[in-house]
Structure 1
Amino acid sequence: MQDIWCHIHSLMPIDAAARAACLSRTFLSSWRCYPKLDLGCYPKLTLTRRALCPKTYGADLSLRIGSILRNHSGTGIEELTLFLYEDEEYIFPISLPSLGVRSSIRSLELRSCVFRPTPELGPLRGLTRLALRDVRITGLKLECLLSNSLALELLDLIHCHRIIFLKIPSVLLQLSCVKVRGCSYLRAVQNKAPNLSSFTLYGQVSKLSLGATLPMMKVFVMRCDKVIRYARANLPPIMPNLETLELGSTFEVNTPMLPSKFLNLKHLIIQVNGETLSPSYDYFSLISFLDASPSLETWWLDHESVFEGSSHLRQLPECHHDRLKSFEVIGFSSAKGLVELTCCIVKSAVSLERLRLDTLCGDIRCSDGNDSDSWDICEPISEALLEEAIRGVAAIRKYIEDKVPPTANLIVLEPCPRCHTTTVDHGW
C-alpha cells in the first residue's frame, strides 16, 4: 500500500507534494522518497507563499516551514530559498531544525521575513552564498551570522533597512563579493575580510572602510553624491588592480585633472542625473578618466541633460589613447561639455571600433525606430526631452560625424520619425 501512496505522491508537482506532506502523515512518509528531491549533487528547495498555502499565517506558517525543513533533513539541501509577502512577519527559525540541513546548505536566500540568528544557530560550515532582501535583521545579528559562516563567498543585501552599521569580520577568508543596495538607514560599512575583490554599494554612507582588501579590488561599484570626483581623486593609489569601475551620482562637481593613474582599469560606467546637476557642471571634465586609464577598453556614459550648446569647442592637446574600443552615451544631448568630451575621445582613441550615441536615454522604440530592441510603439517622452534629442542629433552631424574614422562604427539613435514629431530650432 505504501508503494501506491509513493507513486501517487510522485505524480504531484513539488509545491503540491510539499503541502500534502504537511497535511497528511501518509504523504509525510512518502515525501522522504519523493523523486523530484533526488537532484543528484545539487538539491534545491524553494518555498514560496503560494507553495506554503496563502491562507496560512503566524504560528501555523512557522510550523509548516519547520515541518518541511525537518522532513528534508536527510536529503542534503544545498539551496534553500524562502519567498514571502513584503508585509509578512514570519520569523525564520533561530536554529535550523536539523544538523543535516545546517551542514549541507550552500546557498540561503530569504525575502520578506524577520531573521534573528543567535549563537545557538551554530556554524553554517558549507554556506557560500547569503542573500537577504526586505529582511528585518540588525547589523549585530548579521555580524553574528557571518562569524559562523566561514566558507561564505558572496553576501548580497537588498532593502534591509534595520542595518545601520555593517561589519564584515576578518574570519571570512573566502569572501570575494559584497553587494549592498537600498539599505536606506545604513551609515557605515567596515570590512575586515582580507580577500574581497568585488564591492557594490548603492546609498550614502558616512563611513566606508574596506580595510586591507583595497589592493585586491577588481570591481568597485558605488552610487552616491559626488562619488565621481571622489573616485578620481582617491581610488587610483589605493586600488591599483581595479579593472571595472561603476559610478552613479545625482549631485556632482567637476572632475579634476590629476597625475594619478588607473593603470589596470578596463571598463568604466558613469551614470549622472542631469536634472539635479548644476548648470555649471562640465561634462568635459570627465576626460580626466580617459587621461588616467591607459588600459581602458569600454566606457559607458548614461545621463539625462537639457543644456544649450556652443559652437566653440575645447580640445586637449597631445591626448592619445590606444586601448579604448567602445564608447557609448545614453541620453546624448547638445551640452557643450558632452560634445567636447565625445570629440576628444573620437580624436584621441585611435583604437576606437564602436561609438554609440543614444539621444533618448534608452527609451523603448517602436519597430520603425533605429534600435534593435523594438516595440510596436515608442515610449512617450516630454516635449523638452524630444527637443533636446533633436538638438543632440544636430550636434552629432555638425561636430562629431565627420571626425569619426572609417575604422569605427558610428551608431546614432535618433527620435522616431513616426512617434516623435516636432519642429525645433536646432540652435547651432
Structure 2
Amino acid sequence: MFAFTIPVINYFSMPVQDIWCLVHSLMPLCDSAHSACVSRTFLRSWRCHPKLIFTEETLGLKRTEARDFTSRVNQILKNHSDTSVKILEFVFDDCNNVNTCHLNSWLQKAVTPGIEKITLFLPWRYREEYNFPCSILLDGRGNSICYLDLTNCAFHPMVGFDCLRSLTKLRLYGVCITGDELGHLISNCFALEELQVWCCMELICLTIPFWLQRLSCLTVSECNMLRVIESTAPNFTTLDFFGEPVQLVLRESSKVKHLKVGYSYKPNAVSYAITKLPSIAPHLQTLAIYSSSEVYSEASIIIFQCL
C-alpha cells in the first residue's frame, strides 16, 4: 500500500499521458516500477519517472549481495528515458561493494540536461578510492543542478570549471578536495546560497569571493587541517563552525549577523570567542558558543544576543 498527495492542478487541460507521468512521479520508486508491468501506458510513464532514488529500501533489497543491487539499477536505467530525471540519488551502505566502473556508467546515463539534484552517499572506504567524474557535468548537463550532495569520495574540479551555474546548495561530507579546487568550483557558482563542508581533511584555506552575492549561509565542521576562512561575500550572514579555532577573516563588506562556534579541545574557548569574535564580525547580532573543554563544565553551550 502507498499514499501520496496530488497537487491542485487543472487536469482537464493536461494530456492523459502527462497526468500519468505526474501520478507516477508522486509514487515511491518501487511501486512506480511495479505498476509499469500493468500496461504499456504505465510503462511509458515509468520511463519518464523524474526521481531515481537508489537505496536497498527503494529497490526492495534486504542486505543482499552487490550483484543484485547492480543488476536492478542496470535494468532500471536501461528502460528509463534519457531526458526525464530531475532527482538522482545513490545511497550505498557497507554491504554494497559496487564496482566504481558501474557507478560511473550509471551517472553518465542518468545525469542529463534538466537534472536538478544529485546525491551520492558512499561508505567511508570509498573516500580516496572513488573520484567523482567531473566530465558528466560538461556539455550543459550540470547547468540545471540546484543541489549537489557528495559523501565520501574525491572531487577534483579543474581551473575554469563552470558547469554548475544554477547551483544554490552544495554539501560536501568526507570529500577529498583542496582549498584551491573548492575555490575553482564555487567561483563560478553565482547562484550559490548555502555551502556545507564537513570532514574534508585536505582543506587548508577556504576563500569565498565577493561576487557570490547570493551566498548567505556557511557551515564548516571537523575539517581538521583548515587554518583560514576568508570571505568577502556581501550577503554572507550566517556562519556555523565546529572544530579547532581557525583564522577568521571577514572583510568590511561582510554582514555576518549569526555566528555559531563549537570548539571541542580548546581550553577557555568561551573567553576566546567572547573577546575575539565580535571584533572580527562587527555586525554580529547572535553568538552561540559550544565547548566541551571548559574547566567549570564538561560541556557548555552559551548564547549571546549582541546589541
AA of the residue aligned to 2:105:
L
Q: Is the 8 A contact 2:177 2:200 kept in 1?
A: yes
What pairs up with 1:17-416 in 2 under 5 angstroms?
23=74, 28=77, 30-32=79-81, 37=85, 43-49=86-92, 54-69=96-111, 73-74=112-113, 76-88=114-126, 89-119=129-159, 121-214=161-254, 216-224=255-263, 225=266, 226-236=268-278, 239-252=281-294, 274-275=297-298
Looking at structure 1, the residues matched to 162 and 306 of structure 2 have their Cα atoms a distance apart, in angstroms, of 49
How many residues are matched?
Answer: 248
Distance 1:33 1:208, change over 3 A: closer
Q: Distance in 1 between matches of 2:235 and 2:170?
A: 17
Deviation, 1:196, is 0.9
1:117 Cα deviation from its structure 2 partner? 0.7
Secondary structure (helix, strand or coil) at the match of 2:200 reads coil
Larger radius of gyration between Structure 1 and Structure 2: 1
Deviations 1:307-327 (A, max 9, x none): xxxxxxxxxxxxxxxxxxxxx
Deviates more, 1:171-180 or 1:14-23: 14-23
Note closer, same or farther for the CA distance 1:34–1:247 as it changes in structure 2 (3 Å cut). same
Q: Whose relative contact order is higher, 1 or 2, with alpha carbons under 8 Å and at least 6 apart?
A: 2
8 Å Cα contact 1:21/1:31 also seen in 2: no
Once the two structures are superposed, residues 280-326 of structure 1 have per-residue CA deviations (whole angstroms, 9 ceiling, x without a partner) of xxxxxx9xx98xx586xxxxxxxxxxxxxxxxxxxxxxxxxxxxxxx
Gap runs ≥5 in structure 2 = 1-38, 61-68
Matched residue SS, 1:199: strand
CA contact (8 A) 2:150 2:171 kept: yes
Partner amino acid for 1:221?
A: K
Residues 142-170 of structure 1, C-alpha deviations (whole Å, 9 max, x = no match): 11101121111111011111111112222
1:109 match: secondary structure:
strand
- Following superposition, the deviation at residue 30 of structure 1 comes to 4.0
CA apart distance, 1:245:
1.5
* SS at 1:231 equivalent: helix
C-alpha separation in 2, matches of 1:109 and 1:227:
31
Q: Which amino acid aligns with 2:90?
A: L
AA aligned to 1:99 is D
Structure 2: distance between partners of 1:118 and 1:128: 20
CA drift of 1:90 comes to: 1.4
Identity of aligned residues (%): 31
- Match of 2:175, SS state, is strand
TM superposition shift of 1:240: 4.9
- Alpha-carbon offset, residue 251 of structure 1: 4.1
Indicate the larger mover: 178-187 or 197-206: 197-206
In the alignment, the residues of structure 1 paired with residue 171 and residue 80 of structure 2 have an alpha-carbon distance, to the nearest angstrom, of 28
Are 1:6 and 1:34, in contact at CA under 8 Å, matched by a contact in 2? Answer: no
- Relative to structure 1, the CA distance from residue 14 to residue 166 in structure 2 (aligned partners, 3 Å threshold; closer, same or farther) is closer
Using the TM superposition, give the Cα deviation of residue 183 of structure 1 relative to its aligned residue in structure 2, in angstroms: 0.7
TM-score by length of 1: 0.50
- 1:91-138 alpha-carbon deviations (Å, 9 max, x no partner): 101233453431100010000111011136324110010000011111
1:9 touches 1:34 (CA, 8 Å); kept in 2?
no
